A = this chain, B = another copy of it.
Amino acid sequence: MQDALARLTAYWTAQGCLTVQPMNTEVGAGTLNPATFLRVLGPEPWRVVYTEPSVRPDDSRYGENPNRLQTHTQLQVILKPDPGNPQELYLGSLAALGVDVNAHDVRFVEDNWASPALGAWGLGWEVWLDGLEITQFTYFQQAGGLNLDPVSVEITYGIERIIMALQDKHHFKEIEYAPGISYGEVFGQTEYEMSRYYLDDADVAANRQLLEIYAAEAQRLIDAGLPVPAHTYVLKCSQAFNVLDSRGAVSTADRAAEFARMRRLAGDVAKLWVARRDALGHPLGQVEPLRPAIAPALPAARAEAAEPRTLVFEIGVEELPPAEARAARGYLRRAVTEGLAATRLTHDEVRVFATPRRLVAVVGAVAARETDHVRVVKGPKVAAAYGPDGAPTKALEGFLRGQGASLDSAEEQDVNGVRHVVVKKHEAGGAAPAVLAGVLAKVVAGLRASKNMRWNDPQLAFSRPVRWLTALWGDDVVPVAVSTLAAGRTTRVLRTSATPLVRIASAETFMETLAVNGVVADAEDRQELIVTGAQDLVYPDGRVDVAGEAALIDQITYLVEAPTPLLGTFDEGYLALPDAVLTTVMRKHQRYLPVRDAEGALLPMFVTVANGPVDVELVRAGNEAVLRARYEDAAFFYRADRQTSLPAMRDRLARLTFTDKLGSMADRAARIGGLATELAASLALASPTLDRAAQLVKFDLGSQLVTEMTSLAGVMARDYAENAGEAPAVAQAVYESELPRHTADELPASVPGALLSLADRLDLVAGLAATVGLPTGSSDPFAVRRAVLGLLAVHRAHPALARLSLIDALAAAGARQPVAVSEEVLLAAREFLARRLEQALVEEGNPVDRIRAVLVHHARPSIVDTLLAQLADLTGRDEFVQVAEALQRARRIVPESTPAGYDPSLLKEPAEVTLHEAVTAVSGELGTAAEPDLFRFTTVAGRLVAPLATFFDEVFVMADDPALRAARLGLLATVRDLGAGLLDWSQLRL
């Protein structure tokens, strides 16, 4: 291991990096060392490499966990400015370390980094070596709240895990640290004792005092204008805070306050540093921005007749996140299509392709030149163009001079019916390369992602750096130049290729050249290779659930350019772990495809998809080792959790913040449990199962496994609860409280589960609406939208809950919040919920008029469903249409403000008396029905159809006698209101 550190250090030193020492106060990561945190600020260049023992009190495991240490070793590299080829330099470092990058599967997998406490973030990747995350690679965008210009590249190697992989060790203690001496022999005791300190023995009061003293010193030093010592005290703050946290002594309020304080201090330090360096005149100089690229010369005009040729335009990028690659492909199609449309170049279809490393547009038969063109330039009116003597006026002369035209060339033409002098200019069409150059430059400049970053280019911004452009029209380079990039005829294929740079003869051979070099540009082709390759590998023992894994397969498709599916296996023993644990690790952490038998049971194997030609045995073994380590980790947590009592796990919730204003997870769990039982009582659905489940709800957030894999919340709760001897129904209810976890997810099957699920989501919506506000646009960090959809789905799925008003329940949830939830907030939430319901119903294909008619029941979505079903049945049936029309007719005649109610003694006409009697009877029969029922209503209210028709035929409503008129209107208003609570009848289109 020490050799590896020395080699990496030597390699980066040879790349011009300074070597400095680790920080001499505890830091959680190399990023905190001033050699990174301060040096990435400001305009000075900086290249550095250093080792940083990184202290994470929370990762203390007494040295027992094979992969987790309270102090692990980072090797940190900063390249400022971005050298333009940091990935290639990085691969060189792996080679220096003895890693054969051609044999291994090295990949750059999207991973963005942010440290709220430092006001810092960046975009980049985890680097995977045969599936193992060995490096964090980040383009630093902001630190201390300041935008970074120039941008720095940060490369952080996790040394222990790299060495474990290279040495094929299964526990960090087994690492050969130096010849004949193991890591455990050297650091084992320290690992144990420092774990003891961080987990058990650190004095909470002392560390709290330390935190305060450090923060005060930091502030004093900021005030004194000394960023360097101030920074060390910010670091000490951070460590003291981490110690308190690992001791379980950080309350919700503390955490929020501390993060805010650290962010503020770090921001002040950063500003001060920048100012100080400025005052010192930037001792290390200043980075010069790259100069704009010069476009290649236009191809010489060709003698031969110019045929249409293919256009190919490739934008070379560093590994894009899958979603961004897909989105960029769409952009490329639009931008190229529109760009071409604005020219007068004829062309065939625009085809676009995207891989992690390139966006390609191919356009067939692009004409050699634009069509020629006559442009009419409007001059003065004829009346104003010539003097009485017929000589040109000054106005005309000026116009002609401006157009460089002679009087001879002046013509006359009607413009909007008025005679004007015009000049006709014949414009020759541009040659394709010149015209295309402009179009394509704009395409590049217009690239944007949902989250953009900067690199060494002074103008461009995109999801990841754009590194090269290839643009050919037929045999000719299209002279595109954008900022510092100029297009050429050289593309880049796989980095591990013998010839990573390849010259393209002509646009027509481009796609073939990529293919020959192993790059599968078309995503559909890649997907096909992945799916068929995977199924071939597992046949006949098992199969990959292609439909079930569609999202994962789609992601993998955009993670590789040259898919190479590989089969790996794992020890059958791990199948004892819950299915969800195994598949979560495979899918989410490793992007492996799970393999199942005919019955759907997991098999001890997986398919991973490497990029390009690799040493299959080596990569397989590497991936298997990674999975084994992850499963070992999971098994470790699983065993530990199963040895922990449920109350002990639940106690840990007090240490988890929900939000700073809404308390801890323990607070939230208590609210959920309380609310669920309250709702159950109101619905007479109380049960011992619910009572017990309400006590346990969310306890598994305090388990180690769920802490590691939050998506397993609920699943593990069920497992642990059953293991702890809870009744299966209780365990199931606790599990179901987390359902649905996403749109297409399973719903709670049991009533206790459904009540807990609702209570969970009601609590979330009420609390967040009152504090953060309801989501608008695409930003929804707490997934309130998903929670509301869950509320609707659960309610709709449980007829037993039909009587429950979600709006009343929301108010009840609001009353339990630690903050006031105002009437306005509840109204807004109600409206939000109604809109989500409406949208869902529309998406389900219901006619809009019916949706609008039933939406009065949005508080009880299952009623909405019932009514919609009834409406679907009744619509078109005469008896219903007649009732509806009758009600409509009454509604149309009666002013809206007229109340239902009248003095029956004033009614004398037979028809009106008959109607009165019918109304009274119907009204009495309808009574206050338990639940809305259109069938019954139609039947009962149907009895009014005939009397009402007679009434309208025989009675003049608007009698002169005001009292009589009021009584008749009141009678009709009563008819109108008979169905008022049932539907918004006005919305129905009959």
Q: Determine whether A228 belongs to the interface, using a CB cutoff of 8 Å to chain B.
A: yes
Q: Determine whether A990 belongs to the interface, using a CB cutoff of 8 Å to chain B.
A: no
If A6-B10, A213-B206 touch, does A18 touch B186 (CB 8 Å cutoff)? yes
If A6-B10, A203-B217 touch, does A197 touch B229 (CB 8 Å cutoff)? yes
In the complex, 20 of the A-B residue pairs with CB atoms within 8 angstroms, ordered by the A residue number, are A2-B18, A2-B19, A5-B19, A6-B10, A18-B186, A21-B53, A24-B24, A34-B190, A188-B283, A189-B228, A189-B277, A189-B280, A193-B226, A193-B228, A197-B226, A197-B229, A201-B221, A201-B224, A201-B226, A202-B217
What sequence of 0s and 1s flags, for each residue 181-213 of chain A, a beta carbon within 8 Å of any chain B beta carbon? 100111011100110110001110010011001
Q: Determine whether A13 belongs to the interface, using a CB cutoff of 8 Å to chain B.
A: yes
With most chain B CB atoms within 10 A of its CB, the pick from A188, A189, A227 is A189
Instruction: List the B residue with the shortest CB-CB distance to A193.
Output: B228
CA distance A672 to B203 in the complex (A): 48
Q: For window 3-32 of chain A, which residues contact chain B by CB distance below 8 Å? A: 3, 5-6, 9-10, 13, 16, 18-27
Q: Determine whether A177 belongs to the interface, using a CB cutoff of 8 Å to chain B.
A: yes
Q: Determine whether A627 belongs to the interface, using a CB cutoff of 8 Å to chain B.
A: no
Instruction: List the B residue with the shortest CB-CB distance to A45.
Output: B181
Could you list which residues of chain A lie within 8 angstroms of chain B, going by C-beta atoms?
A: 2-3, 5-6, 9-10, 13, 16, 18-27, 34, 51, 53, 55, 73, 177-179, 181, 184-186, 188-190, 193-194, 196-197, 201-203, 206, 209-210, 213, 216-217, 220-221, 224, 226-229, 276-277, 280, 283-284
CA distance A55 to B9 in the complex (A): 24
If A18-B2, A53-B21, A196-B226 touch, does A213 touch B210 (CB 8 Å cutoff)? yes
With most chain B CB atoms within 10 A of its CB, the pick from A24, A202, A209, A280 is A24
Q: Is A213 a contact partner of B209 (Cβ separation < 8 A)? A: yes
Q: Give, as a whole number of angstroms, the nearest-CB distance from A538 to chain B.
A: 45
Instruction: List the B residue with the shortest CB-CB distance to A184.
Output: B283
Q: Is A189 a contact partner of B6 (Cβ separation < 8 A)? A: no
Instruction: List the B residue with the shortest CB-CB distance to A280.
Output: B189
Kindly list chain B residues whose C-beta atoms are within 8 Å of the C-beta of A184. Answer: 283
Q: Is B21 a contact partner of A51 (Cβ separation < 8 A)? A: yes
CA distance A185 to B186 in the complex (A): 36
Kindly list chain B residues whose C-beta atoms are within 8 Å of the C-beta of A24. Answer: 22-27, 53, 55
CA distance A5 to B10 in the complex (A): 11
CA distance A216 to B221 in the complex (A): 26
- In order of increasing CB-CB distance, the 4 nearest A-B pairs are A193-B228, A197-B229, A2-B19, A185-B283
Kindly list chain B residues whose C-beta atoms are within 8 Å of the C-beta of A220. Answer: 201, 203
CA distance A186 to B34 in the complex (A): 11
CA distance A227 to B189 in the complex (A): 10
CA distance A659 to B218 in the complex (A): 36
Q: Give, as a whole number of angstroms, the nearest-CB distance from A498 to chain B.
A: 33
Kindly list chain B residues whose C-beta atoms are within 8 Å of the C-beta of A6. Answer: 6, 9-10, 13, 19
Instruction: List the B residue with the shortest CB-CB distance to A10.
Output: B6
Kindly list chain B residues whose C-beta atoms are within 8 Å of the C-beta of A185. Answer: 283-284
Instruction: List the B residue with the shortest CB-CB distance to A182.
Output: B283
Instruction: List the B residue with the shortest CB-CB distance to A188.
Output: B283
Kindly list chain B residues whose C-beta atoms are within 8 Å of the C-beta of A206. Answer: 213, 216-217
Kindly list chain B residues whose C-beta atoms are within 8 Å of the C-beta of A10. Answer: 6
Q: Give, as a whole number of angstroms, the nearest-CB distance from A383 to chain B.
A: 76
If A22-B22, A24-B26, A25-B26 touch, does A224 touch B196 (CB 8 Å cutoff)? yes
Q: Give, as a whole number of angstroms, the nearest-CB distance from A144 to chain B.
A: 16
Q: Is A13 a contact partner of B21 (Cβ separation < 8 A)? A: no
Q: Give, as a whole number of angstroms, the nearest-CB distance from A42 to chain B.
A: 12
Kindly list chain B residues whose C-beta atoms are within 8 Å of the C-beta of A283. Answer: 184-185, 188-189
Q: Give, as a whole number of angstroms, the nearest-CB distance from A827 to chain B.
A: 52
Kindly list chain B residues whose C-beta atoms are within 8 Å of the C-beta of A226. Answer: 193, 196-197, 201
Copies of this protein, total: 2
Given A2-B13, A3-B13, A201-B220, 5 other A-B residues pairs in contact with their CB atoms under 8 A:
A34-B190, A193-B229, A197-B226, A202-B217, A206-B216
Q: Is B190 a contact partner of A228 (Cβ separation < 8 A)? A: yes
With most chain B CB atoms within 10 A of its CB, the pick from A185, A197, A209 is A197
Kindly list chain B residues whose C-beta atoms are within 8 Å of the C-beta of A188. Answer: 283
Kindly list chain B residues whose C-beta atoms are within 8 Å of the C-beta of A224. Answer: 196, 201
Q: Is B229 a contact partner of A196 (Cβ separation < 8 A)? A: yes
CA distance A557 to B53 in the complex (A): 49
Instruction: List the B residue with the shortest CB-CB distance to A2.
Output: B19
Q: Give, as a whole number of angstroms, the nearest-CB distance from A195 to chain B.
A: 10
Q: Is A276 a contact partner of B21 (Cβ separation < 8 A)? A: no
Q: Which of B19, B201, B209 contacts A229 (CB 8 A)?
A: B201
CA distance A197 to B177 in the complex (A): 38
Kindly list chain B residues whose C-beta atoms are within 8 Å of the C-beta of A276. Answer: 189
CA distance A19 to B178 in the complex (A): 8
If A184-B283, A213-B209, A220-B203 touch, does A229 touch B22 (CB 8 Å cutoff)? no
Q: Which of B22, B23, B203, B227 contacts A193 (CB 8 A)?
A: B227
Instruction: List the B residue with the shortest CB-CB distance to A71.
Output: B24
Instruction: List the B residue with the shortest CB-CB distance to A23.
Output: B24
Instruction: List the B residue with the shortest CB-CB distance to A206.
Output: B213
Kindly list chain B residues whose C-beta atoms are within 8 Å of the C-beta of A194. Answer: 228-229
Q: Give, as a whole number of angstroms, the nearest-CB distance from A53 to chain B.
A: 5
Q: Is A22 a contact partner of B21 (Cβ separation < 8 A)? A: yes
Kindly list chain B residues whose C-beta atoms are within 8 Å of the C-beta of A213. Answer: 206, 209-210, 213
Kindly list chain B residues whose C-beta atoms are within 8 Å of the C-beta of A13. Answer: 2-3, 6, 178
CA distance A618 to B226 in the complex (A): 43
CA distance A193 to B222 in the complex (A): 11
CA distance A960 to B823 in the complex (A): 134
Kindly list chain B residues whose C-beta atoms are within 8 Å of the C-beta of A179. Answer: 16
Kindly list chain B residues whose C-beta atoms are within 8 Å of the C-beta of A284. Answer: 181, 185-186
Kindly list chain B residues whose C-beta atoms are within 8 Å of the C-beta of A2. Answer: 13, 18-19
Q: Which of B18, B178, B203, B277 contacts A216 (CB 8 A)?
A: B203
Q: Give, as a whole number of angstroms, the nearest-CB distance from A929 to chain B.
A: 71
Q: Give, as a whole number of angstroms, the nearest-CB distance from A423 to chain B.
A: 64
CA distance A179 to B15 in the complex (A): 11
Instruction: List the B residue with the shortest CB-CB distance to A54.
Output: B24
CA distance A796 to B548 in the complex (A): 109
Kindly list chain B residues whose C-beta atoms are within 8 Å of the C-beta of A209. Answer: 209, 213
With most chain B CB atoms within 10 A of its CB, the pick from A34, A179, A210 is A210
Kindly list chain B residues whose C-beta atoms are within 8 Å of the C-beta of A227. Answer: 193
CA distance A951 to B217 in the complex (A): 95
Instruction: List the B residue with the shortest CB-CB distance to A187.
Output: B20
CA distance A185 to B3 in the complex (A): 30
CA distance A645 to B537 in the complex (A): 88
Kindly list chain B residues whose C-beta atoms are within 8 Å of the C-beta of A193. Answer: 226-229
Kindly list chain B residues whose C-beta atoms are within 8 Å of the C-beta of A210. Answer: 210, 213
Q: Give, as a whole number of angstroms, the nearest-CB distance from A954 to chain B.
A: 97
If A196-B224, A226-B193, A283-B184 touch, does A177 touch B18 (CB 8 Å cutoff)? yes
Q: Give, as a whole number of angstroms, the nearest-CB distance from A37 to chain B.
A: 13
CA distance A556 to B641 in the complex (A): 73
Instruction: List the B residue with the shortest CB-CB distance to A285.
Output: B185
Q: Give, as a whole number of angstroms, the nearest-CB distance from A28 to chain B.
A: 11
Instruction: List the B residue with the shortest CB-CB distance to A178.
Output: B18
Q: Give, as a whole number of angstroms, the nearest-CB distance from A36 to chain B.
A: 14
Instruction: List the B residue with the shortest CB-CB distance to A1.
Output: B19
Q: Which of B16, B25, B203, B228 contacts A25 (CB 8 A)?
A: B25
CA distance A334 to B73 in the complex (A): 60
CA distance A22 to B206 in the complex (A): 26
Kindly list chain B residues whose C-beta atoms are within 8 Å of the C-beta of A34. Answer: 190
CA distance A10 to B221 in the complex (A): 39
Q: Give, as a whole number of angstroms, the nearest-CB distance from A282 to chain B.
A: 10
CA distance A10 to B9 in the complex (A): 12
Instruction: List the B residue with the shortest CB-CB distance to A17.
Output: B178
Q: Give, as a whole number of angstroms, the nearest-CB distance from A740 to chain B.
A: 46
CA distance A202 to B221 in the complex (A): 8
Q: Give, as a whole number of angstroms, the nearest-CB distance from A198 to chain B.
A: 9
Kindly list chain B residues whose C-beta atoms are within 8 Å of the C-beta of A228. Answer: 189-190, 193-194
Kindly list chain B residues whose C-beta atoms are within 8 Å of the C-beta of A181. Answer: 18, 284
